[in-house]
C-alpha cells in the first residue's frame, strides 16, 4: 500500500525528495546531525501508517475528481476554487499529524501558511491542477515526519512507536 501511495503522489507531481527537503529545512536548526537519509526514513515510516494512507487516498481522489469535473455542485466549485473557508482539507491533514501526537500541529500550520518548497509549487500550478487537498496533505506528511524525528531523537519510546 505504501508503494501505491508513493506512486499516487508522484502522479500528482510530488517526489518524496521534495518532502524530505522540507523536513530537513524544518528540523536542521534543532538537530544539527540530521541527514536527508533520516528525513527519507521518517517520511517512509509516516507513509506506512494506515490512517495516513487513508487520508492521502481520500484527499487525492477528491482533487483528481474535481479536476475531471466529476464532483457534484456546489462541492465541485468549492474545491476547484480552493475556497479559503473550506476546511475539510485541513481536517484530513490533521488526521495525518495526529498520528504522531500534537507537536506536529505547529509545523503543519506554519508550512501551510508559508507554502515552503513543493507546497508552494503545488499552489502555483493551480490553473493546471486542483491541489486543494494535495498541498495540505504534503504539509501534513512533512509535519508528521518532523514530529517523528523529534520524538525519536529523545531516545525514549516515541509517541508513535510500539
- The cell numbers describing 75, all together, are 462541492
Residue 80 interacting with a copy of itself (CB under 8 A): no
Q: Rounded distance, CA 62 to CA 85, Å?
A: 17
Residue 35 contacts a copy of itself per CB under 8 A: no
Binding region for a copy of itself (CB under 8 A) out of 13-21, 31-39, 107-115, 122-130: 107-115
151 and 40 Cβ atoms separated by less than 8 Å = no
Does residue 138 interact with a copy of itself by CB under 8 A? no
Name which of 20 and 53 has its Cβ closer to a copy of itself.
Answer: 53
35 contact partners, CB below 8 Å, separation of at least 6: none
For residues 130 and 126, give the distance between their C-alpha atoms in angstroms, rounded to a whole number.
Answer: 6
How far apart are alpha carbons 131 and 63 in whole angstroms?
A: 6
C-beta of 16 vs 75, nearer to a copy of itself:
75
CB of 7 to a copy of itself, least distance (A): 12
Beta carbon nearer to a copy of itself, 18 or 49 = 49
Contact of 16 with 8, CB cutoff 8 Å: no
Select from 18, 26, 53 the least CA-distant residue to 149.
26
How many chain residues touch a copy of itself (CB under 8 A)? 58
**Least Å distance between CB 78 and a copy of itself?**
7
Of the ranges 14-22, 32-40, 118-126, 147-155, which one interacts with a copy of itself (CB under 8 A)? 147-155
* Grid coordinates belonging to 89: 482539507
Question: Locate cell 481536517: which residue?
Answer: 91
Question: Which stretches of the chain bind a copy of itself, using CB under 8 A?
Answer: 1, 4, 45, 48-52, 54-55, 57-58, 61-62, 64-65, 70-72, 74-75, 78, 84-88, 90-92, 94-95, 98-99, 101-103, 105-114, 148, 150-151, 154, 156-162
Amino acid at each position: 500500500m505504501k508503494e501505491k501511495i508513493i506512486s499516487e503522489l508522484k502522479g500528482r507531481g510530488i517526489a518524496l525528495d521534495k518532502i524530505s527537503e522540507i523536513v530537513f529545512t524544518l528540523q536542521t536548526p534543532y538537530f544539527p546531525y540530521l541527514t536527508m537519509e533520516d528525513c527519507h526514513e521518517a517520511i517512509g515510516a509516516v507513509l506506512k501508517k494506515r490512517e495516513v494512507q487513508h487520508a492521502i487516498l481520500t484527499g487525492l481522489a477528491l482533487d483528481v475528481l474535481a479536476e475531471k469535473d466529476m464532483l457534484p455542485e456546489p462541492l465541485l466549485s468549492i474545491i476547484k476554487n480552493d475556497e479559503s473557508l473550506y476546511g475539510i482539507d485541513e481536517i484530513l491533514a490533521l488526521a495525518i499529524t495526529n498520528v504522531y501526537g500534537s507537536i506536529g500541529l505547529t509545523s503543519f500550520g506554519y508550512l501551510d501558511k508559508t507554502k515552503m518548497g513543493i507546497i508552494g509549487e503545488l499552489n502555483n500550478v493551480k490553473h493546471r491542477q486542483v491541489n486543494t487537498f494535495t498541498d495540505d496533505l504534503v504539509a501534513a506528511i512533512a509535519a508528521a515526519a518532523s514530529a517523528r524525528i523529534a520524538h525519536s531523537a529523545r531516545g525514549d519510546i516515541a509517541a508513535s512507536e510500539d
